[in-house]
Amino acid sequence: MGVLFTTGRDPCDEARELCRALAAVMPESACENRGKKTVEDVVARARLFGLKRAAIIASEGGKASEISFASVTGKSWEWVGTPVKIKSAAFSGLPKEKPCCAEFSGKRASEWRNFFEVEECCPSCDGDSGFGTLSVECGEKFLRFEVSGRKVGPELVLA
């Protein structure tokens, strides 16, 4: 479960901030500077952390431009879907504690649930854990996050 978020090879500040923000709001996720790592190196790091996904946030023209997801298994990896194009990103404050699970809603909920591969909320995790439940609203052209009715992390406008 969870995602290792990293940037492309020549990241802009917005891509770095987006990596940190997504890792802060998504359950069981982490952020790591890519540096000179190849995609195979990034996948190996995700495997080392026990994560099932790696997400690479590319930059273009000083802005975060797209997110590519890779599915990570014991000995191999493969791209998941096509890269998601980002038109713009805005940032709200981060939650005090990382949410324990996520609920996805909206037109593209199943697509984003597959991209992020995070734990869906269960009856024993009703938001009373002190960490809260992450609500991910997945519209046709946007992605936004809330905890306890308050916007957190990034809000993406998708191309």
What is the 3-class SS of the chain, one letter each residue? CCEEEEECCCCCHHHHHHHHHHHHHCCCCEECCCCCCCHHHHHHHHHHHCCCEEEEEEEECCEEEEEEEEEECCCCEEEEEEEEEEEEEEECCCCCCCCCEEEEECCCHHHHHHHHCCCECCCCCCCCCCCCEEEEEECCCEEEEEECCEEEEEEEEEC
Quick one: pLDDT at residue 83?
Answer: 97
Q: pTM of this prediction?
A: 0.91
Quick one: pLDDT at residue 143?
Answer: 98
Quick one: pLDDT at residue 40?
Answer: 96
- Edge to edge, what strands does the sheet with 77-91 contain? 30-31, 3-7, 53-60, 63-72, 77-91, 150-158, 142-147, 133-138, 101-105
Looking at the domain 3-158, which fold is it?
Rossmann fold (3.40.50)
| Residue scoring higher pLDDT (130 or 113) | 113
Quick one: pLDDT at residue 125?
Answer: 61
Where are the domains positioned within the chain?
3-158
Residue 138, token pair as written in the block: 């997945």
pLDDT digits (tens, 9 = 90+) for 35-90: 999 999 999 999 999 999 999 999 999 999 999 999 999 999 999 999 999 999 99
For residue 96, what pLDDT band results from cuts at 50, 70 and 90? confident
Quick one: pLDDT at residue 122?
Answer: 62
If you average pLDDT over residues 8-27, what whole number do you get? 96
